[in-house]
A and B are shown apart, each in its own frame.
Chain A
């Protein structure tokens, strides 16, 4: 069904130039990825299993590790859908309309990337902290934002803000709006057009965006570290838990927890493969 998958199959044979060039390029790419990705990943698992499977299992099934996992999943489960909705809306806006301030909007969407994670955490402290704008009001109502779950969610949303928008935008731009206009001409309502025409067309951008957003949401350390307060078993996410273990000279535990995060990334891959397979099947 998805046209690019079909094209892909065909183009495989036709292009890429002579075999020498092809294999040189593949070799170079694999060398680069090997040095920068595979070996570090192997290193992580080597450290994690240094003391055998039991030590690994003990580290990841510790109650504090489990509560960290729950918190990490909660934060991602809130941050990803929020940024997904925003990302699609913003991409639609930027790809389909010309309006004053458009370049400014794109740039502002990118901005959270360049904000140092430490600062990303700090801005929420400046806002919700005891001495922040909303601090006194929150204290009066006994509401906790930073050093509690909402702060961690906010920091995660901020850090992963641009991903979906950034991934969907080029795809939407590349495809043009002819089909959407046709749907409207045929009498479809705006929402119907969106669900039936627009969304299926940008599916891959959305999936890539969600995968990246999710990976980053789960792996974020710096910003979350500032707003977490590090209360063990309460406000520690998996990356923070890994750091705590590292600081206890429990290297095996630290890397075991970290390896868990790489596995979460692999799970997202399986999801992607599944969607790919479904769309080929239909």
Chain B
């Protein structure tokens, strides 16, 4: 954990450390601490009742479940898209490359409206899916669809630079040694992009947990069935119950903090193993 002497050669440790913590503290930690303080106005019993009500539990389940599904879908398709964008040339590649960031630029409310329009029973997609017996709008599937949309850029954009950095020679060597393309991918490439994939997954998952704007349009907001956690927070605020709202927010915040921490530790561990293996 200590600063190694070789690293200390580089300048700017104290400056960047001080500035990072200062900026983080001023803009993130200080405001967030207000959230905790407001929650402390509740007694423990009140807090517990608020955060473990049947509706809250159902909402956690939906939010975490749909976010997980969306993040996993983004891992699979994001990797695919990143791979195709980096490794292949085809007509329209530049356009596709440009479009990847779109879910960030589109206001979430517009994204929600557009997706609902597409997936509702009389929409472009909905009418065909409904014929197949698949309902998307106003179901938990719809929630997952919206969350996949808003988290789409993360995996693509974290994997892309790493994929570009991986030396082709390694793959060529593997191929020369008789490895099938699949073996090359699984044994040679995948370990290299795993950290980026993991961090893309984390970001997409974290973003999905908090999303509100796009989801309320497509979810239908039915209590116990399609009610997401941020909506519960809003309903608390509607009753001027700031403490109740912050209590649920604190639960979500703590849960995602622990999750993020776990992933980052995992990341560090895999990084070290990688470094150890490659003889650093």
A25 touches B210 (CB 8 A): no
Cβ of B27 under 8 Å from chain A: yes
A7 touches B168 (CB 8 A): yes
Cβ of B87 under 8 Å from chain A: yes
Choose among A29, A89, A221 the residue that contacts B109 (Cβ–Cβ < 8 A).
Answer: A221
Known: A25-B88, A30-B96, A262-B106. A105 touches B212 (CB 8 A): no
Cα of A99 to Cα of B245 in the assembled complex, Å: 36
Known: A4-B164, A29-B77. A37 touches B105 (CB 8 A): no
Besides A21-B181, A103-B265, A239-B109, 14 other CB < 8 A contacts? Answer: A25-B83, A30-B84, A33-B81, A40-B115, A89-B15, A97-B3, A97-B13, A98-B3, A114-B206, A126-B31, A205-B161, A219-B108, A221-B109, A269-B98
A174 touches B107 (CB 8 A): no
Cα of A113 to Cα of B67 in the assembled complex, Å: 13
Cβ of B54 under 8 Å from chain A: no
A32 touches B77 (CB 8 A): yes
Choose among B11, B102, B113, B237 the residue that contacts A190 (Cβ–Cβ < 8 A).
Answer: B11
Number of A-B contacts (CB under 8 A): 319
B257 touches A255 (CB 8 A): no
* Mask: chain B, 79-91; 1 = CB below 8 Å from A; 0 = not: 0110111111110
Known: A39-B118, A212-B104, A242-B110. A184 touches B27 (CB 8 A): no
B206 touches A261 (CB 8 A): no
**Nearest chain-A residue to B202 (Cβ)?**
A110
Known: A103-B261, A180-B10. A265 touches B213 (CB 8 A): no
A258 touches B110 (CB 8 A): yes
B101 touches A97 (CB 8 A): no
Known: A7-B168, A33-B96, A157-B27. A113 touches B77 (CB 8 A): no
Cα of A198 to Cα of B252 in the assembled complex, Å: 38
Max chain B Cβ within 10 angstroms of own Cβ: one of A93, A119, A211, A266: A119
Cβ of A154 under 8 Å from chain B: yes
Choose among A16, A110, A158, A264 the residue that contacts B206 (Cβ–Cβ < 8 A).
Answer: A110
A96 touches B113 (CB 8 A): no
B209 touches A258 (CB 8 A): no
Cβ of A41 under 8 Å from chain B: yes
A17 touches B27 (CB 8 A): no
Cβ of A246 under 8 Å from chain B: yes
Shortest A73–chain B CB gap in Å is 13
Cβ of B38 under 8 Å from chain A: yes
Known: A21-B181, A86-B23. A28 touches B80 (CB 8 A): yes
Kindly list chain B residues whose C-beta atoms are within 8 Å of the C-beta of A38.
Answer: 99
* Mask: chain B, 1-34; 1 = CB below 8 Å from A; 0 = not: 1111001111111011101110110011111101
**Nearest chain-A residue to B35 (Cβ)?**
A123
B168 touches A15 (CB 8 A): yes
Q: How many residues of A contact B (CB 8 A)?
A: 111
Kindly list chain A residues whose C-beta atoms are within 8 Å of the C-beta of B16.
Answer: 89-90, 92-93
Shortest A29–chain B CB gap in Å is 4
Cβ of A171 under 8 Å from chain B: yes
Cβ of A104 under 8 Å from chain B: yes
Kindly list chain B residues whose C-beta atoms are within 8 Å of the C-beta of A157.
Answer: 27
* Mask: chain B, 199-231; 1 = CB below 8 Å from A; 0 = not: 100110011011111000000000000000110
* Mask: chain A, 19-51; 1 = CB below 8 Å from B; 0 = not: 001100110111011011111110110010000
Choose among A16, A18, A184, A246 the residue that contacts B11 (Cβ–Cβ < 8 A).
Answer: A184
Kindly list chain B residues whose C-beta atoms are within 8 Å of the C-beta of A113.
Answer: 203, 206-207, 210
Cα of A97 to Cα of B16 in the assembled complex, Å: 10
Known: A16-B88, A105-B24. A40 touches B108 (CB 8 A): no
Kindly list chain B residues whose C-beta atoms are within 8 Å of the C-beta of A43.
Answer: 114, 117-118, 124
Shortest A61–chain B CB gap in Å is 19
A262 touches B102 (CB 8 A): yes
Known: A113-B206, A158-B31. A194 touches B118 (CB 8 A): no
Which residues 138-185 of A have a CB within 8 angstroms of B?
154, 157-158, 161-162, 166-167, 170-171, 173-174, 177, 180-181, 184
**Nearest chain-B residue to A217 (Cβ)?**
B104
B24 touches A40 (CB 8 A): no
Which residues 45-104 of B have a CB within 8 angstroms of A?
77, 80-81, 83-90, 92, 94, 96-104
A39 touches B10 (CB 8 A): no
